[in-house]
A and B are shown apart, each in its own frame.
Chain A
């Protein structure tokens, strides 16, 4: 049993939440294998990182140091993972199911010629690994067996609760300098552009008022905007509404849109297709407003009003103003 190797990311000098979740699953796997948990970090983070990782049970830390690695370069990261694998022969490489996690792990899998299981929620060691992973954004689970030395696994975001280790503590730091070819540095961030979007992003809004095909046209979103404004929230949309050209894609909630987690999601004229629901399953409450009492969203939500949104939404706005 050599080790389980985890890729981790940082946000503003702190271990990213999704990396904490990935580390929790990686540690569980290391415990099952009775193997040490190792982590690799690429960013020039301060000393804190070591403490944070240790509290998650990491005992070996590989700090990647290379004078040409001053920006995010996914092939260089994949090359590094490849070289660490060659040197240490881990049982598994675990990454967060984030954009960068998948960007790097997919490339590493290609280089290593091994399978990769994306968005795992559970892993059991045995004859190979038995994984439970998400399909269709989690509206379907796949149980599968993955062999490969190592097995490459990403961890679905916000599905495994992050838990620090009971006996986390000491950690040994190693500096690791990969051998990089020019081609490994061909793809890298050239610059960052800041967006000039104003207002609360959908992902962070406490209240989202969503409008679907039932809204009927772009003008009537005004009614939804008004209600959202009153509640300090923001407006979202279904893919049907975006496809009609009523709202920009940035407003789309769902599998190929934003994943929201507001205190309340008010879904107006939205039927509740699985691809929409996976985007709002993080909502603490769903209030559906729909003319069809049989609509699927009525089964998924906490509250419902049966009726025409064009009458119900302004009535709610009115009632709040009066109240």
Chain B
């Protein structure tokens, strides 16, 4: 079984999202970087499937040189190889990203059975790179997956809906876009992190094909409506005031 997990480097924002003065991007000078939780689960799923069925896991990202950090983390979490599509600092559109990933998959001399994606990326949330790659490669695609079982040549994938789940069975190779909750990603140890950094990454120079326009004008941090909360008190002595509030709200 050859598994691929596609991940995207994104800023690890906390309580506020700071913007650059030109409003074109997030000001990352004080921020760390991470990948979407959905994608952490995509990596974990690939690693677990390979542990069960044998084979190897490749983590792939399209991004700046620094995105190698996210590939090393994926390797520390059990991926066997990392592929960096060197795209520079600019944000690529989902159409161009998908085309470049599909090209890379065809170029890499590995026949991937399982192509794992996050359901949506954390920062741009386009909901489309997975399905677009599937379309380019002409393989089936399932999205929103929270449970995956692979048996010779096919995958049974479950998608959560109110009151239960929809079950899909698709032949491999297939694109599977997963959601957090499908598994519990392992936490990489210090040793595995150190070891990962010594690994050689495969670097590729993707062609950027943009197609019809989708152009960012600017970003905006929406106003948060209210100011500070009303402090009802400190410590357990605040309990009666809380009870009053709960009565006012009508839940008591």
- In the bound assembly, the distance between CA atoms of A110 and B231 in angstroms comes to 51
Q: Is the CB of B131 within 8 A of A99?
A: no
Contact of A109 with B by CB under 8 A: yes
Which residues of chain A come closer than 8 Å to B16, judged between CB atoms?
274, 296
How many whole Å from A57's CB to the nearest CB in chain B? 26
Name the residue on A nearest B221 (C-beta): A140
Which residues of chain B come closer than 8 Å to A40, judged between CB atoms?
none
Q: Is the CB of A107 within 8 A of B229?
A: no
Contact of A229 with B by CB under 8 A: no
- In the bound assembly, the distance between CA atoms of A189 and B159 in angstroms comes to 10
- In the bound assembly, the distance between CA atoms of A186 and B249 in angstroms comes to 50
Which residues of chain B come closer than 8 Å to A300, judged between CB atoms?
224, 226, 229
Main secondary structure of the interface of B (DSSP, over half): mixed
Q: Is the CB of B163 within 8 A of A147?
A: no
Interface size class of B (residues with CB under 8 A): 35 or more
- In the bound assembly, the distance between CA atoms of A75 and B135 in angstroms comes to 10
Interface residues of B in 190-221 (CB under 8 A from A): 211-221
**A135 and B239 contact, Cβ closer than 8 Å, known pairs A187-B140, A264-B246, A272-B15:** no
Q: Is the CB of A119 within 8 A of B125?
A: yes
Of the residues A141, A188, A192, contact of B222 by C-beta under 8 Å = A141
Q: Is the CB of B249 within 8 A of A284?
A: yes
**A264 and B171 contact, Cβ closer than 8 Å, known pairs A110-B132, A139-B222, A194-B164:** no
Q: Is the CB of A307 within 8 A of B242?
A: no
Q: Is the CB of B236 within 8 A of A110?
A: no
Name the residue on B nearest A188 (C-beta): B168
Which residues of chain A come closer than 8 Å to B171, judged between CB atoms?
186
Which residues of chain B come closer than 8 Å to A39, judged between CB atoms?
none
How many whole Å from B232's CB to the nearest CB in chain A? 5
Q: Is the CB of B245 within 8 A of A287?
A: yes
Q: Is the CB of A320 within 8 A of B243?
A: yes
- In the bound assembly, the distance between CA atoms of A273 and B180 in angstroms comes to 18
Main secondary structure of the interface of A (DSSP, over half): mixed
Contact of A301 with B by CB under 8 A: yes
Q: Is the CB of B235 within 8 A of A186?
A: no
Q: Is the CB of A305 within 8 A of B13?
A: no
How many A residues, CB 8 Å from partner? 97
Of the residues B98, B120, B213, B229, contact of A147 by C-beta under 8 Å = B213
- Interface centre among A102, A250, A320, by most chain B C-beta atoms within 10 angstroms, is A102
Q: Is the CB of A107 within 8 A of B211?
A: no
How many whole Å from A212's CB to the nearest CB in chain B? 13
Which residues of chain A come closer than 8 Å to B94, judged between CB atoms?
115-116
Interface residues of B in 232-252 (CB under 8 A from A): 232-240, 242-243, 245-246, 249-252
Contact of A206 with B by CB under 8 A: yes
Name the residue on B nearest A231 (C-beta): B251
Name the residue on B nearest A196 (C-beta): B164
Which residues of chain B come closer than 8 Å to A314, judged between CB atoms?
236
| Chain A residues in the interface with B (C-beta under 8 A) | 72, 74-75, 99, 102-103, 105-107, 109-111, 113-119, 128, 130, 134-149, 154, 183, 186-195, 201, 206-207, 231-233, 239, 245, 249-250, 252, 255-257, 263-264, 271-275, 284-288, 293, 296, 298-308, 311-312, 314-316, 318-320, 323
6 A-B Cβ contacts within 8 A?
A140-B17, A148-B214, A252-B180, A257-B180, A303-B231, A303-B242
* Further 17 A-B residue pairs, CB within 8 A, beyond A113-B212, A271-B14, A298-B231: A107-B131, A109-B128, A114-B211, A114-B212, A136-B123, A138-B222, A140-B26, A148-B214, A187-B168, A189-B168, A206-B251, A256-B179, A271-B15, A287-B242, A298-B229, A301-B229, A319-B243
| Chain B residues in the interface with A (C-beta under 8 A) | 13-17, 26, 36-38, 93-95, 98, 120, 122-128, 130-132, 134-136, 138, 140-144, 158-159, 161-171, 179-181, 184, 211-222, 224, 226-240, 242-243, 245-246, 249-252
